[in-house]
Chain A
Amino acid sequence: MTQSTQADPSAVAEASRARGEVGKRSLLAKIGAQNLILLGAIVLLSVLLSVLNPSFLLPANLITIGTAVTISGLLAVVQTVVMIMGGIDLTVGSVAGLASVVSAMVFTATNSTLGVLTAILIGALCGLINAIVIVIGRVPPMIATLAGLTAFKGVSQLISDGRAQGYTGADPLFRALARGSFLGIPTLVWVLIVTSVALHVLLRYTKIGRNIYAVGGNDRAARLSGIDINRYIIGVFVVSGMVAAVAGLLITARTGSGQPVSGSEGLEFQAITAAALGGVALRGGKGSIGGCILAVVLLGILLNGMTLLGVNPFWQNLAQGVLLVVAVVVQQSRSGERRVGLPK
């Protein structure tokens, strides 16, 4: 064996080549293959639908799609953050329902501003409870939030006696949320846009975002590098609860009353579907808000198109399910995992 401390010339050449390319990346790598596939699917579907039914491209229909995806879209983007951190939050639908009821009840008793603030506070509290069960109780997020899903739903049914609460349709704040618009775009959609941009900036450009990816990618490595992982788990679940509460407020605004269950039931699964379709790694550490938004738009167009074409609505559930499985199969086959045992 011959060995010297001198690096061989080819290695030096390779290293200097590396220096030249440092910082540069192809456009394709930046957008990501999964996002390109989603974008392609959106374009293809839009072309197909506008040929089959010209009213698809009318501004009124585009606004319909926008408002239809807002609530599930909000839950999907925040679910993406939770899943990037390696967790999952099944309580988002129930928290939205609870926030919806609470906002309407507090509004009835006091005023709408207090109703909104209380609802968001309740959302944060639900997130905190989830996080405490996970961090201190050492319960896996899937189980902890499955328990929360049922428990929080129970709370909203208890306080509302299972009935819709209050009438918010006449209140200016709730009316503005439900029917107002700015620059031709409905306020509802603005809520989704602002939340998404904020979460995108958080994940992409801040230390907090970078550490969320690190905790999701390898929590042990993150801890041994000095990251207080419990703080991140608590923070992310609290934010998830707050965004879910905002979604609940929008339910109240749109329906004109606080809805304990209807309007929010099953939303958590739509959120996870969109997040997974948007390319979030199911083991954490990978994913983006951009991908999630593309998935939300794709699902919105698909459902809207099927409605426009008069397809039996039962097909819509089937289509969503098939789309999710296809997306995850594609994602897994690219991950290079050994085809043995239960996939992780």
Chain B
Amino acid sequence: MTDPVNDTDGSPSGGLIAEGLDKGFPGVQALKDVNIWFPYGKVTALMGENGAGKSTLLKILSGDYQPDAGVVRIDDEPVHFDGPMDSRKAGLRVVAQEPEIVPFVSVAENLFLGALPGTVIVKRDELHAAATKAIEEFGFSRMLSADMLGIDLSPAQRQLVEILRCLIDDPKILCFDEPTSSLSDSETDVLFALIARLCKEGKAIGYVSHRMREIFQIADRVTVLRDGKLIGTVQVAQSSTEEIVRMMVGRDLTHMHDRNRGEIGEPVLELKDVTTEDVRGISFTVHAGEIVALAGLVGAGRSELAMAVSGDVPLVSGTISVSGKDVRFGSPKDSIKSGIGLAPEERKADALVMVRSVKENLSLAVLDRLTQWGFIKQSAEVTLVGGYIETMRIRTPDMERPIENLSGGNQQKVVLARWLAKQTKVLILDEPTRGVDVGAKAEIYHIIDELAAAGIAILVISSELPEVLGLADRIVVMQNGEVTGELSHHEATEERVLALAMASELAIPEGRNS
């Protein structure tokens, strides 16, 4: 465990204070007794791995979620948000990471949405002038103009519109959710200058980011969350990257893995120079009985690579081969036929038919085998599904239950069982334990280990470092759509993986132009 770290600012007072926040979702406790403080005139960074609870916390502050327990105070007065409007009225704005932009109206209208000047007829001149003034005042005039249409905006410009939307209200407290993920370096500089100015004006700033370099550039304090719990707050000036990384990753989950596996066999999945719209020149091999983890930050291109290998998006160049045979995929059907199964990251959107039963979801990919003259052999299906419910300990009252009633962990087990039933040679698991509670996590790790022991080639994509280190025989690290390094199980440490995942940020960028 990390040492308990104390906030050296003394007892919190003023600004935004949250005390004892709890928030649970079916199957997951997203926040447990979390305290935070965003004091005036300071930038407080909120850090943690994916799933640590940062987004849930921001959604409580923006009024999108109501906490199960705990209190939020502004200027030491308790406030209660039933919805986003309450939060705004209290002088708090959260800059959304993926802003909602109305496509076919101008930037000006997007900025003043819901508060357009004029009673019935919009005063267009006034609107345009106000928008232009705001853009100039906050230093975005080189990057944005008031009369551009929403649909023409780049991701960076969309982010700037969202930031302006929040600033126009002149909030006392402003929270950013990874604002730089879509910004270039020069845009980031403008944003940082703006944040410094807002800070000087006495606003309280909360800042969520994965990028260590940014934290040391603009934050005064860093609060770290892990698994929904507060780990501690440190003053940036008195801390180091190593300390913050240690606080973020912890070491709690490492003994959830029992590594007793058989021999690693022949190469099964081989990628050579695989290039798609999102990734470039990816080459690596997964052998039978081997677990290879794809590590990297969110947005590194790992899920996009998985979608290409599973035939959902076409390759631009490069080759994929399975058991030594080159394969070309026109659709996921071809990929499945060659022996590849994918458990996608977005379980509900991409893997499960939520309104249908556990049985139908589990047997979805193997109906061919259960069918005679086009008719499903009902008893064979019940036997197959019943067998997997038993061996994988899928907790459901019965197999006809809609899968939407199951917890995240049990839903994931159904997806795994689907591919086991299909007897795939390669299994790609994209964030296999996202939205899964800790108990079910251990069971899923156990299943993955057993599958590898049975000779399946497994590719795990995970943003949770302890998971990557615990499961993988080999770790391939990606950043910005490219492989930045490969580590064996013995070489790998959290620090090394993070260093590769943020390679271009820590080292001098190699002049990559996409």
Residues of A within 8 A of B (CB): 1, 3-5, 7-8, 11-12, 14-15, 17-19, 21-25, 29, 205-208, 210-211, 213-214, 217-218, 220-228, 281, 285-286
Contacts and interface: CB of A to CB of B under 8 A. Distances in A.
25 contacts: A1-B252, A3-B255, A3-B441, A5-B256, A5-B446, A11-B439, A15-B390, A18-B389, A18-B397, A18-B398, A19-B386, A22-B382, A22-B386, A23-B382, A23-B386, A206-B376, A207-B368, A218-B353, A220-B349, A221-B351, A222-B353, A224-B342, A225-B332, A225-B365, A226-B337
Contacts of A222: 353, 364
Interface string B351-386: 111111000100011011011001110100010011
B510 interface: no
Given A1-B252, A224-B342, A7 B356 contact: no
Nearest to A4: B442
A23 B396 CA distance: 12
Contact of B360 (A11, A210, A226): A210
B291 to A, nearest CB: 16
Contacts of A281: 355
A17 B395 CA distance: 9
A214 B389 contact: no
A253 to B, nearest CB: 31
B241 interface: no
Sort A-B residue pairs by CB-CB distance and give the 7 closest, nearest first: A217-B353, A226-B336, A285-B355, A218-B353, A226-B333, A207-B367, A225-B365
B443 interface: yes
A21 B398 contact: yes
A5 B418 CA distance: 22
B229 to A, nearest CB: 9
Contacts of A12: 393
B2 interface: no
A144 B248 CA distance: 52
Contacts of B451: none
B374 A207 contact: yes
B470 to A, nearest CB: 11
Nearest to A22: B386
Contact of B396 (A3, A7, A18): A18
Contacts of A220: 349-350
A15 B393 contact: yes
Contacts of A5: 256, 258, 442-443, 445-446
A185 B507 CA distance: 84
A22 B390 CA distance: 10
Contacts of A11: 393, 395, 439
A15 B438 CA distance: 18
B6 to A, nearest CB: 22
B492 interface: no
Given A205-B376, A214-B353, A221-B351, 9 more contacts: A3-B438, A3-B439, A5-B442, A11-B439, A19-B389, A206-B374, A206-B376, A213-B356, A218-B354
A221 B342 CA distance: 11
A62 B442 CA distance: 62
Contacts of A217: 353-356
Contact of A227 (B333, B356, B370): B333
Contacts of A25: 398, 400
Contacts of B199: none
B87 interface: no
A217 B439 CA distance: 29
Contacts of B446: 5
Contacts of A207: 367-368, 370-371, 374-376
Contacts of B368: 207
A11 B392 CA distance: 12
B391 to A, nearest CB: 10
A210 B393 contact: no
Interface string B440-461: 0111011000000000000000
Contacts of B312: 223-224
Contacts of B352: 218, 221
A140 B255 CA distance: 51
Contact of B397 (A7, A21, A205): A21
B256 to A, nearest CB: 5
B344 interface: yes
B239 interface: no
Interface string B307-328: 0001010000000000000000
A3 B442 contact: yes
B380 to A, nearest CB: 13
Given A207-B368, A213-B353, A221-B352, A15 B395 contact: yes
Contacts of A22: 382, 385-386, 389, 398-399
B331 interface: yes
Contact of A224 (B350, B374, B394): B350
A216 to B, nearest CB: 8
Contacts of A208: 374
Contacts of B393: 7, 11-12, 15
A286 B399 CA distance: 17
A7 B351 CA distance: 26
Nearest to A30: B400
Contacts of B353: 213-214, 217-218, 221-222, 285
